[in-house]
Structure 1
Amino acid sequence: MQTRTFDHVDYLWEDEKADALGDDQLALFLYRSNILGADLRITNYGGGNTSCKTIEKDPLTNQEVEVMWVKGSGGDIGTLTPQGIAGLYTERLRDLKGVYRGLEHEDEMVALFNHCLFDLNSKAPSIDTPLHGLLPFKHIDHLHPDALIAIAATKDSKKITHEIWGDTMGWVAWQRPGFDLGLQLEKCLNENPGIRGIVLESHGLFTWGNTSYECYMNSLEVIEMASEYIKKHIEKEGQVFGGKKIESLPSEERKEKAATLAPLLRGLCSSEEPMIGHFTDDERVLEFINSNDLEKLAPLGTSCPDHFLRTKIQPLVLSLEKSDDLSQTDEVLKRLKPQFETYRAAYKEYYETCKHDNSPAMRDPNPVVIIYPGVGMFTFAKNKQTARVASEFYINAINVMRGAEAISTYIALPRQEAFDIEYWLLEEAKLQRMPEERPLSRKVAVITGAAGGIGKAIADKLIAEGANVVITDVNEDNLMGISGSYNKDIASTTICDVTDPFSIENTYKKACLDFGGVDIVVHSAGLAISKSLEETTLEDWNLLQNVLVKGQFMMIQKGVAIMKKQNLGGNIVNIASKNGLMAGPNNVGYGTAKAAQQHMTRLLAAELGYQKIRVNTVNPDGVIVGSRIWEGDWAEGRAKAYGISVEELPKHYAKRNLLNEIILPEDIANAVFTLVAILDKSTGNTINVDGGMANAFVR
C-alpha cells in the first residue's frame, strides 16, 4: 500500500504494523480504531464507534456464523483493546427488527442486545450497536470529525452534503441514537445503493469498507473533502466568527490572570460538589472567545450529542474585562457570584421546561465551560481527565461553529432534543454504573520534597487514593527521574525551592493552572544536620530554619490564600520529627527547627479552624530505608552521637522503639492520608510514626 498525504487529517497507517497482524480482522479493526482515535480532528476521547464483522464457529451448533465486533459502552476508540469490545451474532441483532415496537419503546432494545451476545465476556453493547449491525459492510467507522459535524450542523446540511459528494454520500435527518436510527441508516443505503457513507444531521459520519484499510481510507478521504470545502469558504470570506473584537493578552499575562482567577471559579463551580479544573489558551479558543460572534454563538450551545454531554449545553461567558485587577478578591467575587446565579437559574429553567415524568433528578447546575475573553477557557469536572476532555470537546464544538458559519449558518440542537439526550434514562444508568469515587477524588495536593523518600511515598499514597498531586522538589534531576512515571491527568511536577517566595508562587500558579486550585499542602521538604553546639555554624542554623520553618510558613501562607479564595476548607500537614519533642545530644539546630514546625502547626490550627482549614503534624523517626536524609552527613552524625557505626544505625533504630518495628516512608504516607481523609474533625494534632518512643510521647 502506498502512503497517502492528507492536509487536514493524519495518515497513520503503517504497512509494517498492519502486515504483522496478518489476516486477523479483529486485530486490524482494533489497529484502525486506535489510529483513528489518535487524531482529535477525527474524533475525541470516548467519541465515535468502530466495528468489524467476522466469520466464527458457533460453540453451540459448530456452524459458521457472522459475528459483529463493536466498541462497547463507555469505551474510547483511541485506546480500544479486546476487553473494550462487544461481540454479537449479526443475524440475531437483525432479528430484533421483528420485535421493535417503535420510538416510544427505544430504550427496551438495549437490554435485548445482551440476548445477541456471541462473546459472553463482552463489554456492554452501546446504544450505537444497531447502527453498525443493520448495515451489511465488514468494516464500519462512526466518527465525529469537526469538519463533518460542521456540515451536519448547518441549516442547509443536506444541500451542502450533495454539493460536496454528489450522489456518493447519503444523508439522514437528526434523530437520537438508537435502534430506529439504525433502521434509518439501512433505509438510506437501500434507497442509495453504492454510496460510500452517510452524513447524520447534527451528529456525525458513517463510512465503511470491505477491509479495515479500505474503511480507514474511505473515512480519511471523506473527512479530507469536507475539510477542504470548509477551508476554501474560509479563505473566500477572509475572516471567521465575524472578525476579531478584542486582542488577547500576552501569553504570560493570560496565565497569570488564569492562575489568579481559577480558585475563585473553582469555588463557585463547587457549590454542589468539589470540582477539578483545567485551563487552556489554545489559539482556536482565543480566536473564538475574542470574536464579534462570541455573543451570538456561545448561547446557542453545541450540536453534536458527544459534545454537550461533556460540556453542558452552553458555556458561561464571564463579563470580566481582560484588564480587570483580579487581585481584589472580594470585588471580583461580587461580580462573579451573580453571573453564576444567573447561569444556575437558566439551567434549572431548562430542566423544568424540558423534563418528563420519569426524568432523573436535576444534576449539578454549575457550568462546565467558562470563557474569559482575552484570556482563555476554563473547564471544571469531577476529575482532571473529565475536565480536560470537556475542554477538548468544546474546542471541537468551536471548530464546528467555525466551519458551519463559514459555509452557511450554524444550527444547534433544539433544547428539548438536547435535554432528552442529557437526561436519557440509558445515560443515567451509565452514570449509576460508574465506580465509586476514591476518598481523595476531587482533591488537589501540593507536596514539597516529593521527588524521593518520604515525600514521594506521600505523593504515591495520595494519588492512589484519588488525589491530583503537584510533586515539587528543589532537585531538578530527581524530578526529571520520576516525572515520566505519572499520568499528567493525575500529577504534575515542578521545581520548588521552599526558601524562595518566587519559586513558591510559581508552584501554586502551576497547581491553579493544572488543577484549578489546592486543597492539601504537605510540607515534606527537609534536611538534617547533626552537630554539637560548638560545631553548629550560623550557616547550619540558618539553612535549617529557612527550609524547615520559613519554608513551611511561606508554603502555608500562600496555600491558605488560595484555599480562602475557594472557600472549600483545606488540609495542611507538616512533616516534622520526634526530635522536636525529645531532647538529645548533637541536635540543637535540627531539633529546634522541628519544634518550631510543630508549634506553628498548633498556632495555625487555632487561627484557621473557623474556615475549615485543618493543620496537623506527622512526626517520623528513624526512617532510614528510602530516605534521602541518610545519604549525607546526618547518618555519620547520628552514629557518632550514639557511639555506633553507620552500618549499625538501621538495627539500632529498629530495636529502640516499643514495637521493635522498622519505620518506612509508606508508614508516614499512611499517617498523612489518615489526617486528610479520615480524621476529618482533627486539627492541631500530632501523630507520631516512630514505633513508639516513650520519651517523645506528646503527653
Structure 2
Amino acid sequence: MLKSVKDQLLENRWDEAEAAGKSESELLLYRSNLLGSDKRVTNYGGGNTSAKIMERDPLTGEMVEVLWVKGSGGDIGSMKLDGFATLYMDRLRALKKLYRGVEHEDEMVGYLPHCTFNLNPRAASIDTPLHAFVPHRHVDHVHADAIIAIAASADSRALTQEIFGGRVGWLPWKRPGFELGLWLEKFCQDNPDAVGVVLESHGLFTWGDTARACYDTTIEVINTATAWLAERAEGVAPFGGAVHESLPAEERRRIAARLMPAIRGLIGREEYKVGHFDDSQAVLDFVNSRAMPDLAPLGTSCPDHFLRTKIRPLVVGFDPARGNLEDVLGGLSQAVDAYRADYAAYYQRCKRPDSPPMRDPNAVVYLVPGVGMITFARDKATARISAEFYVNAINVMRGASLVSSYRGLPEQEAFDIEYWLLEEAKLQRMPRPRSLAGRVALITGGAGGIGAAVADRYLSEGACVMLADISAEALEATQARLVQRHGGDMVRSVVMDVTDEAAVARAIAETAVEFGGLDILVSNAGIASSAPVEETSLELWNRNMAILSTGYFLVSREAFRLMRAQGMGGSVVFVASKNGLAASPNASAYCTAKASEIHLARCLALEGAEAGIRVNVVNPDAVLRGSRIWEGEWLEQRAATYGTDKQGLEEMYRQRSLLKRSVLPEDVAEACYFFAADLSAKSTGNILNVDAGNVQAFPR
C-alpha cells in the first residue's frame, strides 16, 4: 500500500543560512543540487535548471544577460558550476529569425555554440530553448513521479485543471526542442499569472523571480499533486491488487542468481553487460500485480524514462507459486529471441529514411513475478540508473492508474526519440569502452596486497570487482579505498573462507546477483608456512592443502559452473608461487600445495577450453609489500632460514634474482590483467613468472 500523505510529501530543504552570500550562479547550483538529491523530483541525469544572470562581457566590459542552464549530459543532483552551459540571451533570442519551422528544428542545435558566453566549453543541451524563451529569470524542469502520473494519464489536461486550477497550465506532448521552447514562451505570455505548466507525457516546468521562489514553487506544485494522488489511493490496492505473492528475500536472491547469468549469456555475446537486481517494495507491488501484464507492454511515458529502459520490458514467465524456475531457464532463449524479433519489427515499422542503424535489440528491463526486477546495461552504474528510472515509471503507472488510465508514448514518438539523430550524435561522441568494460571479476584474497592491486588494475580498465576475503575488517578497509578511487557501483565485497564449500557457493551466487554473472576469477587466497619436514605437523600440512589446493578447487568449480551457465567463456587466473616450480628448504607443505595449484590449473585448462574458459597461472616471488602472509611467523621463519633479519629479507630476495629487482603487488597485478584481457585471448594452460628471474623456476 502507499505510504501516508504526510510521508510522501517532499521536504522543503532550502536553508537561508546556507544560501546567504552566494552569487546568482551559486544559488542556481544550490537549488539544482537540492532538487536532484531526491529521485521523486527527478531521475539521475534528468530534468534541468536555469537562471538568467547579468554578467560582464569579457570583450566589451558591458553587463549582458546570460542564460546559465544545465549542460548536455549533466546531472542536477551532483553537478558543479562547470556543469552549466552559459549563453548570451540576445543571441538566443536572435535565433528565432533563423528558425525555418518544426520540420527543421533539429538544425537549431547547430547554432547554439554560436551563442556561447565566455568561451564556456560545456555543450548546451537540446532543452536550452525551453529555458531561454520562458520569460522568467529562474526556471526548473523536473520529472517528478506525481506530476508525470498526471501527465501520462488519458485525462491529463482535465486532471491538471482539477488539481491546480489556473495556477499550473498544460501543454500537449511535444518532443523537446526549439518548437517546444516557442510553445512555452507563448503559454507564459498568454497566462501571466501561471507559476508552471505540465507537459503531457513529459514533466513539469516551473519558474520564479528568485532562486528561492522558483525552488519553493517547484516543491509546492509537486506536493500538491502528491497529496491529491495519495488521498485517492487510500484503501486502494496498487495496480488492482496482487495475483502473486513475493517469495522470501533470500529465495528471491537465489532465483535472481540463477536467472541473471542465463540472461546475461543470451544478451551479452556482442557486448558485455552488467546486471542489477531490485526487489524493493514498489517493484514487488508491480511485478506481482493484476495489472502488470497489461501495463508493462505499454512502455514508459517520460522521454528520460524511455531512453534508459527501452520501448518495453521483458516479462519473465516465472510463477512463484509453482516454482517453475527450471522451465523458465529452459525457455529463456526463446523468450529473448521473441523480444529481439519484436524489437526488430518495431524498428522496421517506425524507421525513417535517415534513421541510424538498429541498435542492440535486447531488453534492458526484466520483470520477474514474486522476485523483482533485473536490468542490464554496459556498466553497473547505467544498469542501476535504468532500474531507478523504471521504478519512477512504476510510480507513474501506479498514480495514473488510480485516477485515469495510463498512456505510454505513442510508438512512433518513442522511436523518434530513441533514434533521434541528435541522440545518435551524442552516442557517437562517447569515449571508446575500456578494455575490461562490462566484465565481472571475483578476486579471492582480495583484501591483501596482491588482491587489492589486481582489483585496482581491473577497475581502472572498467571491470566490476567482487572482493572475497576471510577478514571482514580488512575487506571493509580495502573496499573503502577502492570505492574512493573508482566509485561505489563497481566494487562489492563478500566474506568468504575458500575452504568452506557452502561459503564459496554463496559468494559466487552473490557475485551473480550484484553484477549479473562472472567473467574473471582470480584465485589468490593465500597462506604461508615454514618448518623443516620433521617439524611439520599434520595440521600444518592439511591447512596448506585446504587453502592452497582444495580452496582453489572449490572456487574454480563454482566459477566453472557459473561460466558454463552463461556460455560466454571466461578467464581463470591462479596466483601461485615460484615455489610451485622451484623447491625451497623448510617449506615442504607450502611448496607442495603450490605445485598442486599449478597442476590443477593445467587440468582445468584442458576442461575449460571447449567452453572458451581459459586458465592460466601467475607465479610471483617474494612480494613482501602489502602482503598479509608476510606478517608474523612466516616472515620470521623465512628470515631465519636464510640467515638474515626482517629488514634484510627483501634485499636478499632482490639480490638473488637474475634482474636484481624487487617484485611489487602492482607487477603481479599487471600479469593478472594480461591473462584477463583480450591481449591473451589465445593463451591457456600457461605460466607467467613474475619473480625478477629465477633459473630454478623457469617453466621449460
Q: Classify the TM-score, shorter chain.
A: over 0.9
Distance in 1 between residues matched to 2:440 and 2:550, nearest whole Å: 23
Separation (CA, whole Å) in 2 of partners of 1:646 and 1:220 = 64
Residue deviations 1:191-231, cap 9 Å, x none?
A: 11110001100000001111111111100000000011111
In 2, Cα distance between the equivalents of 1:166 and 1:299?
33
2:19 counterpart residue number: 18
1:646 positional shift: 2.2
Q: Find the aligned partners of 2:617 and 2:325 in 1 and give their Cα distance.
A: 31
Range 10-19 or range 473-482, more displaced: 10-19
Q: Which moved more, 1:10-19 or 1:531-540?
A: 10-19
Counterparts of residues 108-147 of structure 1 (less than 5 Å): 108-147=107-146
Tell me whether 319-328 or 238-247 shows the greater mean CA deviation. Answer: 319-328
**One-letter code of the match for 2:14?**
W
Tell whether the 8 Å contact from 2:130 to 2:181 is kept in structure 1 after alignment.
yes
Which residue of structure 1 lines up, in the alignment, with residue 689 of structure 2?
Answer: 688
1:361 maps to which residue?
A: 357
Indicate the residue corresponding to 1:334 in structure 2.
Answer: 330
Q: Which residue number in structure 2 is paired with residue 519 of structure 1? A: 519
Partner of residue 451, structure 1: 447
Q: Structure 2: how far apart are the matches of 1:484 and 1:460?
A: 12
**Alpha-carbon distance between aligned partners in 2 of 1:210 and 1:580, rounded to the nearest angstrom:** 74
Counterpart of 1:350 in structure 2 is 346
Over the residues paired in the alignment, what is the CA RMSD in angstroms?
1.2
Structure 1 position 13, deviation (Å):
2.2
CA change 1:60–1:333 in 2 (3 A) is same
1:483, CA displacement in angstroms?
A: 2.8
SS in 1 for 2:522: strand
Q: Which residue in the other structure is 2:465 paired with?
A: 469
Measured against aligned partners, the alpha-carbon deviations of 1:379-412 in whole angstroms (never above 9, x if no partner) come to 0000000000000000000000000011111111
Once the two structures are superposed, residues 259-280 of structure 1 have per-residue CA deviations (whole angstroms, 9 ceiling, x without a partner) of: 1211111112224322100001
2:189 equivalent to 1:190: yes
| 2:290 aligned to which of 285, 289, 292 | 292
Alpha-carbon deviation of 1:572? 0.3
Deviations 1:107-162 (A, max 9, x none): 11111000000031331100000000001212111000000001001111111111
TM-score (norm 2): 0.97
Q: What corresponds to 2:380 in structure 1?
A: 384
The CA distance in 1 between the partners of 2:8 and 2:149, in whole Å, is 17
- State the partner residue of 2:3: none
Aligned residues of 1:169 and 1:196 also touching (Cα < 8 A):
yes
Q: Where in structure 2 are the equivalents of 1:20-169 lying within 5 Å? A: 22-169=21-168
Is the CA contact (8 Å cut-off) linking 1:169 and 1:199 kept in structure 2? Answer: yes
What is the aligned counterpart of 2:278 among 277, 280, 289? 280
Could you tell me which residue of structure 2 aligns to residue 313 of structure 1? 311
Q: What residue in structure 2 maps to residue 551 of structure 1?
A: 551
Structure 1 CA distance for aligned equivalents of residues 275 and 569 of structure 2: 17
Partners of 1:691 and 1:521 in 2: CA distance: 25
Aligned residues of 1:84 and 1:122 also touching (Cα < 8 A): no
Provide, for residues 334-382 of structure 1, a one-character-per-residue CA deviation record: whole Å limited to 9, x for no partner. Answer: 3111111111111000000000011011011110000111111000000
Closer/same/farther in 2, CA of residues 582 and 464 from structure 1, 3 Å limit? same
Deviations 1:524-545 (A, max 9, x none): 1101001110111111111111
CA positional deviation for 1:680 = 1.1
Quick one: distance in 1 between partners of 2:22 and 2:574? 60
- Correspondence for 1:674: 674
- Which residue matches 1:533? 533
Could you tell me which residue of structure 1 aligns to residue 371 of structure 2?
Answer: 375
Kindly report which structure 2 residues correspond to 1:229-248, keeping only aligned pairs within 5 A, or say none.
229-235=228-234, 238-248=236-246
Q: CA contact under 8 A between 1:87 and 1:122: conserved in structure 2?
A: no
1:587 paired to 2:625:
no
Cα shift at 1:325: 5.3
Once the two structures are TM-superposed, the CA of residue 105 in structure 1 deviates from its matched residue by 0.8
Structure 2 equivalent of residue 623 of structure 1 = 623
Structure 2 distance, partners of 1:272, 1:360, is 18
Q: Secondary structure of the equivalent of 1:619? A: strand
Contact conserved, 1:257 with 1:326, CA < 8 A, in 2? no
- Alpha-carbon distance, 1:635 to partner: 1.4
CA distance in 2, matches of 1:223, 1:522: 49
Unpaired runs of 5+ residues, structure 2, are 1-5
Deviations 1:272-300 (A, max 9, x none): 32210000111001111111101110111
Q: Check the 8 A contact 1:170/1:199 in 2, yes or no.
A: yes
Offset at 1:15? 2.7
Q: Partner amino acid for 1:290?
A: N
Partner of 2:300: 302
Q: Aligned letter for 2:331?
A: R
Aligned partner of 1:547: which letter? I
Contact 1:10 1:39 in 2 (8 A): no
In structure 1, the residue corresponding to 2:77 is in which secondary structure? helix
Return the alpha-carbon distance in structure 1 between the equivalents of residues 310 and 118 of structure 2. 35
Q: What does residue 220 of structure 1 align with? A: 219
Cross-structure match for 1:424:
420
Specify the code of the residue in structure 1 equivalent to 2:432.
E
Matched residue SS, 2:362: coil
Match of 2:409 in 1: 413
How far the C-alpha of 1:596 sits from its partner, in A, is 0.3
Secondary structure of 2:488 counterpart: coil
Tell me the amino acid that sits aligned with residue 239 of structure 2. F
Distance 2:572 2:322 in 1: 31
Contact map agreement 2:151 2:202 (CA 8 A) in 1: yes
Measured against aligned partners, the alpha-carbon deviations of 1:450-490 in whole angstroms (never above 9, x if no partner) come to 11211111111111111000011101111122333313311
In the alignment, is the contact (CA less than 8 A) between 1:92 and 1:116 conserved in 2? yes
Separation of aligned partners in 2, 1:53 and 1:478: 51
| Residue in structure 2 matched with residue 602 of structure 1 by the alignment | 602
| Structure 2 residue matching 1:12: 3-state secondary structure | coil
476-485 or 562-571, larger mean C-alpha shift: 476-485
What CA distance in whole angstroms lies between the structure 2 residues aligned with 1:377 and 1:348?
23
Aligned to 1:484: 480
- Structure 1: gaps spanning 5 or more residues: none
Q: Percent identity?
A: 52
CA contact (8 A) 1:528 1:634 kept: yes
Shift of the alpha carbon at 1:630? 1.3
Provide the secondary structure at the position in 2 that maps to 1:205: strand
What is the TM-score of this pair, normalised by structure 1?
Answer: 0.97
After superposing on structure 2, the runs of 4+ consecutive aligned residues of structure 1 that deviate more than 3 Å are 323-328
Question: Tell me, what secondary structure is at the counterpart of 1:291?
Answer: coil
Deviation at 1:327, TM superposition (A): 7.0
1:578–1:620 CA contact under 8 A, matched in 2: yes
Give the Cα separation in 1 of the matches to 2:381 and 2:146: 25
1:254, 1:29 → 2: CA distance?
Answer: 43
Residue number in structure 2 paired with 1:662 = 662
Give the whole-Å Cα distance in 2 for the aligned partners of 1:346 and 1:202: 24
Q: Give the conservation status (yes or no) of the 8 Å contact 1:189–1:195.
A: yes
One-letter amino acid of the counterpart of residue 448, structure 1: T
Name the residue aligned to 2:504. Answer: 504
For the 8 Å contact 2:269–2:568, the answer to whether it is kept is no
Given that 1:87 and 1:117 are in contact with CA atoms closer than 8 Å, whether structure 2 keeps it comes out as: yes
Say if 1:470 and 1:494, in contact at 8 Å, map to a contact too: yes
Aligned partner of residue 163 in structure 1, secondary structure: helix
Q: Following the alignment from structure 1 to structure 2, what is the Cα–Cα distance between the partners of residues 511 and 594?
A: 26
C-alpha separation in 2, matches of 1:645 and 1:451: 26
